Amino acid sequence: FVSASQEVLPEYREYERASTTTVNAYVGPVMGRYLLQLERDLGQATVALRSAQSGRPSRRSERRGRLGQANAVGAKLRVMQSSGGVLSARAAAEQPVRTVLSGPAGGVTGAFAVAKQAGFPNVITFDMGGTSTDVALLPGRVQRATSAVLGGVAINVPMMDIHTVGAGGGSIARVDSGGALKVGPVSAGAEPGPACYGVGDEATVTDANLTLGRLLPEAFLGGRMTLDVKRSAQALARLARAMGADERTAALGVVRVVNSNMERAIRAISLERGFDPRDFTLLAFGGAGPQHACELAEALDIPRVLVPLYPGALSAYGCAIADVLRESSQTVMARADGLSLEVLQNAFALLEQAGVQALLDEGLPRHRITVVRQVDVRYVGQSYELTLGCPPLRPGLGESIARRFHRAHRQRFGYATPAAAVEVVNVRVAAAGKSGHLEWAREVPPAPPRRRAAAPVAQRAITFRQGALSARVYGRNGLLPGSRFAGPALVTQMDATTVVPPLWKARVDAFRNLVVERAS
């Protein structure tokens, strides 16, 4: 396996270029073998399934060798990459470094699509799972970065601008040597898992939510798994003794601390970058996200929470709808006031030709391929750049780029220096092959759905900061478009539980998203 830097990262900054190429070479052989075998097995399984459905005897494919051959008659294997698009299995095997932060990218892709369809273009995504929480700010568009440091290793590839903190449902709560309550970043994971899973002994965020009545032990995973209330209570009791408090106070403290950790993460991507959270909707997903979203929104003065129909599966939905994406870049290093149109035209033309051809080779028709041009720009002497959309290539291009850069710099850092010289460092091209039209179906006509009060399936006591309150329990499957109810309430479903605190109200929109807003 040979990994060449001019193919992986044809940009200046030799250290980052070398480290990115080294990571690519390190994981390439393992990932390539895995993807080759996976695509071969998928091809054989697809052939067998189609044969069974047609009533003909199954014939296993004997093709071997090049990646993708065995799957020629079956479904295409594509791999999510860090920037939010998907790559063919062959491309992912050749440049696996592009997938290094692909885990949370599917969630952001799915969240952006759901929010746009629901009529909320400005959203903050809140993906809380068992180990960590990923947040991203989408001001009408998906924001991307071009570099990150992972485990002390610099990696420069296009990636979604996602902020991660070690706070999840499995985060372990403990009292440190100074007597302070700490939650995370250590997690119980899935094994042994929270104490309520029946194996672990340490109190976690999930145990705290169970103690507060925010999880129904008999309804977890749609009733497929019953939580161990006794074991969870014992774990919380040990934590409470260390705190010198009762179990419910300890549980409230755990939730308050983990919410504070996630609140700081959202402040880092919004207020610290010049965006006001009050102008956004908090889109909550992941297995634990809807449990904490409303209290988090309240702390940040966010007016609204959007919970998709299947919050626990939104990342998978994002992978399914992602565009096939080929991204490339090249260093040009030219001052904006002396920018050569010919140099930029030639650079863009080469990158576009390669990107479009790669998608055509994958079988995508030309009319479904779009190309986006970008430039990395900075003030002369700076060590960092901002990536901007490239204006049309015509006379006055340098001035147009400089104006855009001054505005972007002021938005991001709070100031601009119009008298300073500006330079274009890199040019970028993203060739995207549009995916099929997979989206949530509208379940009512375009007219506003008829209002109707939702019917609760149970009544439970839930503890909030105001104390223990009687709350209605609703099944998500029974909430149809137009349904409305007020908090305190719980909404249960197989993949998540949504907590609606007092002084909040909820409605179901035409796509069966749950829209939760603060009551006036």
With respect to residue 438, please indicate whether it lies within any of the assigned structural domains: no
Q: Which of 304, 322, 340 corresponds to the end of one domain?
A: 322
Q: Find the helix or strand (DSSP H, E) in which 137 lies.
A: strand 133-139
Structure tokens at 145: 């970065």
Task: Return the biggest CA–CA distance within the chain.
Answer: 75
**How far, in Å, are 190, 204, 205, 399 from residue 187 at the CA level?**
9, 8, 10, 51
- Model confidence at 241: pLDDT above 80: yes
Task: Answer yes or no: do 134 and 216 share one domain.
Answer: yes
> For the segment 438-480, what is each residue's pLDDT rounded down to a tens digit?
666 666 544 555 667 777 888 999 999 989 999 999 999 999 9
With respect to residue 248, please indicate whether it lies within any of the assigned structural domains: yes
Task: Answer yes or no: do 93 and 107 share one domain.
Answer: no
The total number of structural domains that make up the chain:
4
**Least confident among 42-51, 60-69, 433-442:** 60-69
Task: Answer yes or no: do 91 and 229 share one domain.
Answer: no
- This prediction has a pTM of 0.88
- Model confidence at 55: pLDDT above 70: no
**CATH number, residue 229:** 3.30.420
| pLDDT mean over 470-491 | 94
What confidence tier does 70 reach under pLDDT thresholds 50, 70, 90? very low
With respect to residue 510, please indicate whether it lies within any of the assigned structural domains: yes
> For the segment 358-398, what is each residue's pLDDT rounded down to a tens digit?
999 988 899 999 999 999 999 999 999 999 999 999 999 99
Task: Answer yes or no: do 148 and 243 share one domain.
Answer: yes
Task: Answer yes or no: do 290 and 190 share one domain.
Answer: yes
Task: Answer yes or no: do 267 and 138 share one domain.
Answer: yes
What confidence tier does 300 reach under pLDDT thresholds 50, 70, 90? very high
> For the segment 24-38, what is each residue's pLDDT rounded down to a tens digit?
999 999 999 999 899
Q: How far is the C-alpha of 90 from the C-alpha of 35, rounded, in Å?
A: 8
Q: Which of 322, 352, 379 corresponds to the end of one domain?
A: 322
> For the segment 259-291, what is each residue's pLDDT rounded down to a tens digit?
999 999 999 999 998 899 999 999 999 999 999
With respect to residue 251, please indicate whether it lies within any of the assigned structural domains: yes
With respect to residue 443, please indicate whether it lies within any of the assigned structural domains: no
For 384, other C-beta atoms within 10 Å of its C-beta total 9
Residue whose C-alpha is closest to residue 287's, from 187, 374, 387, 366 = 187
Interaxial angle between packed helices 247-269 and 289-300, expressed in degrees from 0 to 180 and rounded to the nearest 10: 70
Residue-wise burial string across 312-331, b where 16 or more C-beta atoms lie within 10 A, e elsewhere: bbbbebbbbbbbbbbbbbbb
* pLDDT attached to residue 448: 53
Task: Answer yes or no: do 179 and 33 share one domain.
Answer: no
* pLDDT attached to residue 47: 75
Q: How far is the C-alpha of 251 from the C-alpha of 215, rounded, in Å?
A: 13
Q: How far is the C-alpha of 125 from the C-alpha of 76, rounded, in Å?
A: 29
* pLDDT attached to residue 56: 56
With respect to residue 447, please indicate whether it lies within any of the assigned structural domains: no
* pLDDT attached to residue 71: 46
Which residues lie closer than 8 Å to 74 by C-beta, 6 or more apart? Answer: 42, 43, 45, 46, 47, 50
Distance of CA 316 to the CA centre of its chain: 10
Which residues lie closer than 8 Å to 208 by C-beta, 6 or more apart? Answer: 173, 236, 250, 251, 252, 254, 255
Which residues lie closer than 8 Å to 178 by C-beta, 6 or more apart? Answer: none
Task: Answer yes or no: do 379 and 317 share one domain.
Answer: no
With respect to residue 442, please indicate whether it lies within any of the assigned structural domains: no
- Where would I find the H helices in 212-328? 229-243, 247-269, 289-300, 314-321
Task: Answer yes or no: do 238 and 153 share one domain.
Answer: yes
With respect to residue 439, please indicate whether it lies within any of the assigned structural domains: no
Task: Answer yes or no: do 137 and 279 share one domain.
Answer: yes
Task: Answer yes or no: do 91 and 136 share one domain.
Answer: no
Strand, coil or helix: what is 43? Answer: helix
| pLDDT mean over 211-237 | 92
Range of the domain at 70: 5-99
Q: Which of 99, 121, 156 corresponds to the end of one domain?
A: 99
What confidence tier does 69 reach under pLDDT thresholds 50, 70, 90? very low
Task: Answer yes or no: do 311 and 339 share one domain.
Answer: no
Contact call for residues 356 and 366 (beta carbons, < 8 A): yes
